[in-house]
Amino acid sequence: SQELLQQSEKLKLVGELAAGIAHEIRNPLTSLKGFVQLFGYDKQQGQAEYIHIMLSEIDRINDIVGELLLLAKPNKSDFARKNLCSILHDVITLLQPQANMDNIRILNYCEGGSIPVYCVENKLKQVCLNVLKNAMEAMPEGGNISVFCTEEEGRVKIRFQDEGCGIPQEYLPKVGQVFFTTKEKGTGLGTMISYSIVDNHKGEMRFASEVGKGTTVDIFLPLASPAARETVQ
Ligand code: ADP
Ligand code: MG
């Protein structure tokens, strides 16, 4: 409806604004961190703890700023035809060491496949990273994460299935809202940013979850056929 459209336009504007501000904050933050570190080398007894806290708080601001930067809308020229299976391979490889430490097996059912999507590679990688990280964080005791890629009705479906804690029904609508988190050290930005990136790709993202059983995240993207390519551009 008209109202929904306006809502989505508003979100885009706010996203652009947030990304712009994040960009401006990054430089002063870097110099701040440098000087705090410098103090750290010259620390007196009793100050070490404060400097440690300052550095970890600066890192936290840095993380948030880094996430907000991802809200910047990509240019049309940033889009290219890429193999989704290679993108997933790269992201899973990146997470493998952490997964091993956490007793998590990532079963990649699209390894070696070839599915063309028209995308901004780094942003799509970020989406997969956000979703997989959430899956891992939902399984403190370990378990399996399965990743599937299929073509359905001219679209690509990426499915991430975990065996984690699940999301209570009443929380489902909140997942993806700015700053909604159930984690002590969460930012509550990852899913919001994933939604925004998937939206920029003319795609769609869906959650299904059962408490105690696990969560399934489906991401639909247009297939990079010549026709789909035109709609993306
Ligand atoms: P964060 O990870 O910083 O909390 P996100 O936006 O990535 O922020 O996720 C928001 C919330 O959604 C999480 O805190 C968690 O409660 C819930 N969530 C997202 N993905 C999953 C998942 N795979 N399993 C369980 N809960 C999830
Ligand atoms: Mg997250």
Candidate from 175, 184, 189, 197 with most ligand 1 atoms within 8 A of CB, to mutate: 175
Q: Whose CA is nearest to atom 7 of ligand 1?
A: 190
What pLDDT shows up at residue 15? 84
Residue 13: partners with Cβ closer than 8 Å, 6 or more residues away: none
Q: Which ipTM score applies to this complex? A: 0.99
Which residues hold their Cβ within 5 A of ligand 2, which is an ion? Answer: 134, 190
In tens digits, the chain (233 residues) has pLDDT values of 566 666 667 777 888 889 999 999 999 999 999 999 988 777 676 788 888 899 999 999 999 999 898 888 888 899 999 999 999 999 999 999 999 999 999 999 999 999 999 999 999 999 999 999 999 999 999 999 999 999 988 899 999 999 999 999 999 999 999 889 999 989 899 999 999 999 999 999 999 999 999 999 999 999 886 554 444 43
Question: Distance (Å, rounded) from C-alpha 220 to C-alpha 205?
Answer: 6
> Residue 162: CB within 6 Å of ligand 1?
yes
User: Any residues with CB less than 8 A from the CB of 151 and at least 6 apart, and which?
Assistant: 115, 157, 223
CB 147 within 8 A of CB 158: yes
Ligand nearest to the CA of 210: 1
pTM: 0.85
Q: Is 126 in the pocket of ligand 1 (CB under 6 A)?
A: no
Helices (H) then strands (E): counts for the chain: 6, 7
Please report the pLDDT score of residue 197 as a whole number. Answer: 93
Q: Decide: residue 32, CB within 10 A, 0-12 exposed, 13-18 middle, 19+ buried.
A: middle
160 CA → ligand 2 middle, Å:
14
pLDDT of residue 164: 98
Ligand 2 mean position, distance from CA 177 (Å)? 12
